[in-house]
Amino acid sequence: MKFIGVIPARYASTRFPGKPLALLDGKPIIQHVCENAGKALDQVWVATDDERIAQCVAGFNGQVVMTRADHQSGTDRCAEAAQALAAAHDFDVVINVQGDEPFVRLEQIEALKACFDDSSTDIATLVKVIEDSTVLFNPNRPKVVVDCKQNALFFSREAIPHIRGVQKEDWLAHHQFYSHLGMYAYRKEVLQQLTQLEPSRLELAESLEQLRWLENGLRIKVGQTQFESIGIDTPEDLEAARQFLENQRKC
């Protein structure tokens, strides 16, 4: 099984324009993502529509695939990049590494790769056990329930499942909940199929694109990680990331 990494990156973020180029510890965020993803993957490509990002990646000897500007999701951008790369590169699975997560870990990518030890896996993603009730009830942190074969049953911004007859502050003591980390891996032919699917009712209700795949009968294998996802969506998140690095140095 051959894996490649694709990092979708756009300049025009509503909450943080130019985010991939923002400096963290003296390096652009996109460089941190590339270098950390490269610890687990032999081939890592940045998929972007912006020449500024492309020039930045070339500056640290990274690899770039130029894509259209009208993609609605990172999955769609990954699909275009994978289609372009398939002509010259041999791979079976595309790992979508979020371009705003400079602390992505080798262990997380390896957990995604391990999902494909099951030959029936078409799509994989990651979850983490929730240990804090503020995460459990935060609608910006999607939750997921899985079946006995570690396939996702449903994703929601609400805490699922509902624990009947128990006060919400005690839910974590009565059930193991999982938060969803937005990393995906797809067989290359399945990735192209995803781009042909129309937005679904559940997806539109929850604003979670993976529900479109479930509604269309696709299965999503779930790998587990013990490492938290640290994304950068706003300038405030960048300052928190800088503080995180500083605290690490003090430890």
- Note the pLDDT tens digit of each residue in 8-45: 999 988 889 999 999 999 999 999 999 999 999 999 99
120: containing domain? 108-181+188-227
Whether residue 99 is found in the same domain as residue 113: no
Indicate the pLDDT class of residue 133, thresholds 50, 70 and 90.
very high
Q: Is residue 203 part of a domain?
A: yes
Q: Is residue 19 part of a domain?
A: yes
| Residues of the chain above pLDDT 70, percent | 100
- CATH code for the domain in which residue 195 is found: 3.90.550.10
Q: What is the mean pLDDT of residues 70-80?
A: 94
Write down the pLDDT at residue 215: 98
Whether residue 85 is found in the same domain as residue 175: no
The pTM (predicted TM-score) of the whole model is 0.94
What is the domain count for the chain? 2
Whether residue 131 is found in the same domain as residue 90: no
| Residues of the chain above pLDDT 90, percent | 91
Whether residue 88 is found in the same domain as residue 135: no
Q: Is residue 249 part of a domain?
A: no
Structure tokens at 206: 């929850």
Residue finishing a domain among 73, 104, 135: 104
Indicate the pLDDT class of residue 245, thresholds 50, 70 and 90.
confident
Q: Is residue 115 part of a domain?
A: yes
Whether residue 23 is found in the same domain as residue 98: yes
Mean of per-residue pLDDT scores for the chain = 95
Whether residue 143 is found in the same domain as residue 212: yes
Q: Which of 189, 167, 11 is nearest to 83 (CA)?
A: 189
SS3 37: helix
Q: How far apart are the first and last CA of the chain?
A: 38
Rounded-to-integer distance, Cα 156 and Cα 202, Å: 9
Asked if the model's pLDDT at residue 251 lies above 80, the reply is no
Q: Is residue 60 part of a domain?
A: yes
Residue finishing a domain among 70, 104, 138: 104
Pairing mode of beta strands 123-129, 178-187: antiparallel
Asked if the model's pLDDT at residue 2 lies above 90, the reply is yes
30 within 8 A of 9, measured Cβ to Cβ: yes
Q: Is residue 245 part of a domain?
A: no
Whether residue 172 is found in the same domain as residue 71: no
Rounded-to-integer distance, Cα 184 and Cα 207, Å: 17
4 CB neighbour count, 10 Å cutoff:
22
| pLDDT per position as a tens digit, 152-192 | 999 999 999 999 999 999 999 999 999 999 899 999 999 99
Q: Is residue 233 part of a domain?
A: no
